[in-house]
């Protein structure tokens, strides 16, 4: 939705409204933005103290979606990943949970290969392409996010990094895309960050 520039006259007229009229307008506007409503619930009602609970609920929801997912092709699996990625992004927007963003993305990628690695490998390169590009770019993003966090957090994610590195290494076409996009899978396999 495009932002509208308010004229000075309108700003003055709004400022002159009573508190009751302003509150009424504010409530109507807030109700139209679900992301803002979620953020206000988290900040005002939960006092920002439910970040870990929300992360755990999302973690369990991701596991449930994978448990009930029926594999058809890498393309359909990618639809699931994009859907889950949207859930993770909404969680991040609401809670500013950088740790959770990394943890949940690793869960999503690793579960994909853990459950469907053989089927992905058997698909044609054409069927795998968009999925492979998505996974590699997401892995690069995770390395960048880890680089911005305190180095002690790297220990928390080393197992996930190694697991993802081995999964990518076991997928010839995904590995080809990783090389093309300059993702050194050894960074993941060794649980270390790039030197840049």
pLDDT of residue 151: 86
In the predicted structure, residue 7 carries a pLDDT above the cut 70:
yes
Kindly report the pTM of this predicted structure.
Answer: 0.88
Alpha helices per DSSP H over 8-149: 8-15, 19-31, 34-40, 51-68, 74-95, 98-122, 125-148
What is the rounded distance in angstroms from the CA atom of residue 133 to the CA atom of residue 192?
22
How far is the CA of 170 from the CAs of 80, 83, 164, in angstroms? 21, 25, 10
Number of neighbouring beta carbons within 10 Å of residue 68: 7
Tell me the residue length of the chain: 196
Model confidence over 118-156: pLDDT tens digits?
999 999 999 999 999 999 999 999 999 999 998 888 899
**Mean pLDDT estimate for the chain:** 93
């Amino acid at each position: 939705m495009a932002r509208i520039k308010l004229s000075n006259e309108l700003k003055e007229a709004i400022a002159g409204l009573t508190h009751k009229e302003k509150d009424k307008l504010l409530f109507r506007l807030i109700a139209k933005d679900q992301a803002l409503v979620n953020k206000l619930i988290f900040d005002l009602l939960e006092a920002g103290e439910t970040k870990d609970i929300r992360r755990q609920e999302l973690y369990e929801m991701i596991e449930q979606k994978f448990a009930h997912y029926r594999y058809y092709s890498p393309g359909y699996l990618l639809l699931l990943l994009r859907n889950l990625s949207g859930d993770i992004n909404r969680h991040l927007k609401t809670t500013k949970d950088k740790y959770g963003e990394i943890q949940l993305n690793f869960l999503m990628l690793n579960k994909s290969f853990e459950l469907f690695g053989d089927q992905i490998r058997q698909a044609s390169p054409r069927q795998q392409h968009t999925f492979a590009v998505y996974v590699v770019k997401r892995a690069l993003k995770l390395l960048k996010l880890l680089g911005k966090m305190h180095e002690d957090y790297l220990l928390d994610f080393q197992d996930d990094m190694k697991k993802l590195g081995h999964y990518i290494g076991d997928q010839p076409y995904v590995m080809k895309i990783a090389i093309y996009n300059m993702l050194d899978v050894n960074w993941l396999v060794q649980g270390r960050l790039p030197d840049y």
